[in-house]
Amino acid sequence: MNGKHNRRTFLTATSAGLLTSIAGCTRGGTGSDDSANTDSKSDGGADIPLKKYQQADIDWKQFEDSKINIGAVQHPWVDAIKPAVPIFEKLTGIDVVWNILPENQFRTKRQTDASTGAGQFDVFFMDQVVNQYRHEGWLQPLDPYFDDSSLYDESWYHPGDMFDASKWQAHGGGYSDKWTGLPITVEVQTQFYRTDLYEKHGLTVAETLDQFRQNAKTIHEAESDIAGTVGRGQKGYGMNIYILNTFLREFGTSLWTDFPNNSGLDTDGTIDAAKWYVNLLKDYGPQDASTQTWSDVLTTMQEGRAGHIVADANLFWPDLTGSDSKVGDKIGIAKAPKPADGQFSPNAYNWQISTSKNAKNSKQGFLFMLWATSKPTNTWMHLNNDAAFSVRQSVWKNDEFRSRVGEDFAQITLDSLKAAKPDPFDRKYPQWGQQYSEELQRAIAGQKSAEAAMKKAATVAENIYSG
């Protein structure tokens, strides 16, 4: 053994040891928020017949008596799938160990795991940094596994059932022709409005941006203590720009009209979209619109302090219409508005699960990914475990699911997901996306004009690639 190998082995082992010792580990099975970081063996809460999986031409038992580590954020998907995991363990003989952490901590741990080559996680949650990870060579494309007949059966898996937007984002959002992971959840932007206020002021639900603004104006001026609209103004790539990206596409432009030379952020369409969003919030939004996060806008709507909003359907609907909301029975849902001459293309966001180059049990991990996103598991999660983020069209069309979540919500979400255009996260998106969102926040706060903000954002984004 040479010194280099010793050093590498030592570093890998040390990193893995540290990660293991720090991570909160759980095993497969039922879990609740309280028990998220405790060792609780499954109770086999799910009742999915094994034959639904055994019908597949897949050798489920080929890795019997092995174990996989899953790195995950504290997310409803984890809560929804954990009761079904004993089915997977029984089907495959693979033991599932969860490592569940708050989102920011998880991001740090994931980066350490991937960049040091520790390979502790066989499967992990993946988000906007997918192309950075792919570009750095930390991610493992799943295509070889799809080509392995002992691991994959297309006729059973039905990949065509997944939304195109979800599959597209799982292929690096157009930056890769290979599977970078499998999508597990999707959120799409829709419009929520106060039915009582709309009725009181004789408003019709907005289909266009002009109508949306007009409705906001009417409510803002007529109601002394209610803002016409509310929206994310806070910086961050899941915040203000996530909403604005819907509108800039509807204004006929997109991000990176010529990658990596032209960011598209200073095109007329982007500037017009930014002006529209900034003015909407400044004129008819809350006073502190520039600092509102998604949870702030949710609270404002729940408290009945705003007329309407564009936000993530699946994320907001249960909270807006549930018992925590003061206006639970007065919330309507509709498609996001678009310009009169624009194309409806709401933004959407997918979480996916991936495997790293250094994972020791990637094949086992792939079996888990396949099982977790398969029709039987996905349908069970959505019918029996309160999930409402399916990446499969069949779930949104399922009558039992539609009666559970509401016909309007299901149909509007389905239509929106079919038309959705998620953000394409290039490898340096975290860098320029953050500064793009800072510039937009400055405009919403009134520190500069929307046009100046977008031009600055364009310069920043292009400079990051040019040097």
Partner 1 sequence: MSTPTQTQSETRTKPEGKIARVRRLWNDHLPIWFIAPMATVMVLITFFPGAYDLYLSLIKEPTLNVFAADFVGLSNFSTAFSRGGALHSLIITITVVVSALILESVLGFVLAALVAGVGSGRVKSFYRVLFIIPMAVAPVSLATIGRIMLNSEVGIIPYVINSATPFTAPAFLSKMPLLTVILMDTWNWTPFMFIIFYAGLSSVPDTLVEASRVDGAPLWRRYVHVIIPYMKPVVFVATLIRMIDLFRTFGVVYGLTQGGPGTATQLVSINIYEQMFVNNQVTVAAAIAVVYLIMVVALCNIVIAKVGFDGVWD
- Contact string 217-256 vs partner 1 (x = CB under 8 A): ----------x--x--xxxx--------------------
The pairing of beta strand 67-73 with beta strand 95-101: parallel
Residue 76: CB minimum distance to partner 1, A: 21
Q: Judged by CB under 8 A, which of 155, 204, 287, 466 binds partner 1?
A: 287
The pairing of beta strand 227-230 with beta strand 306-312: parallel
State both tokens at 226: 């209610």
Question: Per rule CB under 8 A, is residue 57 in the interface with partner 1?
Answer: no
CA 131 to chain centre: 15
**What residues between 125 and 164 interact with partner 1 by CB under 8 A?**
129, 132
Question: Per rule CB under 8 A, is residue 108 in the interface with partner 1?
Answer: yes
> Which region, judged by CB under 8 A, interacts with partner 1, from 64-72, 100-108, 328-336, 344-352?
100-108
| Residue with Cβ nearer partner 1 (282 or 375) | 282
26: left (phi over 0), alpha (psi -120 to 50) or beta: beta
Q: Judged by CB under 8 A, which of 74, 291, 384, 398 binds partner 1?
A: 291
Length of the chain: 467
Q: Judged by CB under 8 A, which of 286, 339, 365, 424 binds partner 1?
A: 286
> Which region, judged by CB under 8 A, interacts with partner 1, from 194-202, 259-267, 289-297, 350-358?
289-297
**Contact yes or no for 432/439 (Cβ under 8 A):** no
Residue 369: CB minimum distance to partner 1, A: 24
User: How many other C-beta atoms can be found within 10 angstroms of the C-beta atom of residue 343?
Assistant: 12
State both tokens at 81: 């799938």
Helical pair 103-115 and 3-22, crossing angle rounded to 10 deg: 170
d(CA 135, CA 149): 28
Question: Per rule CB under 8 A, is residue 460 in the interface with partner 1?
Answer: yes
> Which region, judged by CB under 8 A, interacts with partner 1, from 190-198, 300-308, 337-345, 349-357?
300-308
Number of amino acids touching partner 1 (CB under 8 A): 44
Helix (H), strand (E) at residue 332: strand 331-335
d(CA 170, CA 369): 13
d(CA 457, CA 81): 40
Which residue in 187, 16, 35, 14 sits closest to 100, CA to CA?
A: 35
| Residue with Cβ nearer partner 1 (68 or 126) | 126
Exposed e or buried b for every residue in 151-165, given b needs 16+ CB within 10 A?
bbeeebbeeebbbeb
Residue 306: CB minimum distance to partner 1, A: 7
The three-class DSSP label of residue 125 is strand
Encoded amino acid at 235, one letter: K
Residue 432: CB minimum distance to partner 1, A: 9
**What residues between 402 and 441 interact with partner 1 by CB under 8 A?**
430-431, 434, 438-439, 441
- Contact string 2-41 vs partner 1 (x = CB under 8 A): -----xx--x---x--------------------------
Give the interface with partner 1 as residue ranges (CB under 8 A): 7-8, 11, 15, 104, 107-108, 111, 115-116, 129, 132, 227, 230, 233-236, 286-291, 296, 299-300, 303, 305-306, 430-431, 434, 438-439, 441-442, 444-447, 460, 463-464
